[in-house]
Amino acid sequence: MSTPLPDPVFQRICKQVDASGGDILGFLSRLVSFPTPTQNPEDKNYPDAIRACHAFLSEALKGMGFTLDTWMARPMSFPEHPVLVGTLKGSGGGHSMALNGHVDVVPAGDEGAWKHSPWGGEVTDGRLWGRGACDMKGGVAAMIQAVKAIRDCGLRLRGDVYVHVVSDEEVVGFGSRECAERAPRPDFVLVTEPTRLNVLPVEGGLEHVRIEIEGREEHAGRRYSSIYPREADRGHGVNAVEKGVQIVRALQDLERSWALSKSHPLLPAGFNTLLPGIFMSGPGGGSGGQLNMITNPGTTPNYCCIEYNIWYYPQETLDEIKRDVEGYVNAISRYDPYLKAHPPKFTWGLRNISFPPANTDPDHEVVNSLLSSLQRLGCPSQITGFNAASDLAWYAARGIPGAIFGPGDLACAHSPDEFVPVSDTLNVTKAIALALLSWCGYETYPPSPLPKGKGEQTCLTGR
């Protein structure tokens, strides 16, 4: 368990954030004003917008004493997906923490459906409105402003703080993966996705897989020969659709078995699912999930592909999931003479969707610090799991503990009139600042009572 911060330090941070509330919201409003959707490669506004956003954040971090490292992540929807890593060195002797967030957003869609401009960053009714306000520029603003609040209070962290800002999360890019690989290794990472002020130290693994089945073409007029084969009809078609349906039914049985035999205390019962999301089949052949042609159902289809979304629990590994799924499909194929001779083909990690799980100890000091601070602030909060995927996965893959914690509710992300509550933004700023002080340790140098000309100061330390 973490040791609660002394009340004077707690109060000092809270008062500083409250006094700076207008500046914090102004910072977030400016972030929202940059139109940075990444999912449409034809968007001509993105390149200039992301450069301007990157420059804005760089100047803010430099003004706080951070040293910067920047590079372009592997191209995805655009050639330019800048990565920004800021380092604020501590005085020594404390733990380090990385703060991660993304500034790319999904498109605004029909702007006529919005009551508030998606790029306006307007503050009304206790909410800040705009695309990305919730997902997740609100979290980026809170984590940066948390460090500023500490410095504005005259406190210096002992451990190093790293700020990782990427611009390709919405297209499942490589920015955070590269941060985890090449930036200095932190002792803990906080990903500031919206969590409704809950603290989420675990998330499941996510994998996309394609299963391809080959059949044998035949004129539809000979369909009877495959249903009622006769001695004279030695050859007949093999319907790839029907073979695919067999596999879907089999994996439904496996899914039910998983639900009954596996669980995790911080995730919903039955979270581990096998969702057949794409089913494509037809005559004329195909490969890589694509049909060679679209014709008509007058020929027995000889190609079928099924693409699955698979969630698995934090305590499991991808190798175990692969063995389960492929083993189950291959086992039922052994009872089908055709599938036994023509086994289905598996392709894992489709389109970069291969997120390892995160499984930080719920009793970790930072998790407890966040929860304790929220309780002192009077904010309802609980420790739970994330039933989606986040960039925490890439740090977890390298053995770095972490949690997801940020302002807003994921339910309003990606929708018209997206918003983040003002109170969430300020409370998250306070909680992150307090967690940094608790985890990294701190020092403060108050004005010396010694006569003028004496250089000695009394150093009060935390942790």
SS (H, E, C) 272-311: CCEEEEEEEEECCCEECCEECCCCCCCECCCEEEEEEEEE
Contact call for residues 446 and 458 (beta carbons, < 8 A): yes
Side chain identity, residue 156:
R
Question: CA–CA separation, 196 vs 108, rounded Å?
Answer: 22
Query: Burial letters for 79-91: b for 16+ Cβ neighbours within 10 Å, e otherwise?
Result: eebbbbbbbbebb
> Which residue among the candidates 160, 169, 207, 218 is catalytic per the annotation?
169
Strand-pairing partners, residue 310, are 207, 274
Strand-pairing partners, residue 157, are 442
Question: CA–CA separation, 386 vs 348, rounded Å?
Answer: 23
Sign of CA dihedral 133, 114, 410, 171: negative
Cα separations in angstroms, 223 against 55, 217, 233, 241, 285:
65, 10, 12, 13, 18
In this structure, the dihedral spanned by the alpha carbons of residues 183, 184, 190 and 194, taken in order and rounded to 10 degrees, is -10
253 a catalytic residue: no
Omega prior to 136 cis, within 30 of 0: yes
Tokens describing residue 452: 């003028």
Strand-pairing partners, residue 99, are 163, 190
Helix, strand, coil fractions of the chain, as percent rounded to 5 = 35, 20, 40
Phi, psi torsion values for 279, nearest 5 degrees: -130, 115
Question: CA–CA separation, 455 vs 345, rounded Å?
Answer: 74
104 a catalytic residue: yes
Q: Which residues are catalytic?
A: 104, 169
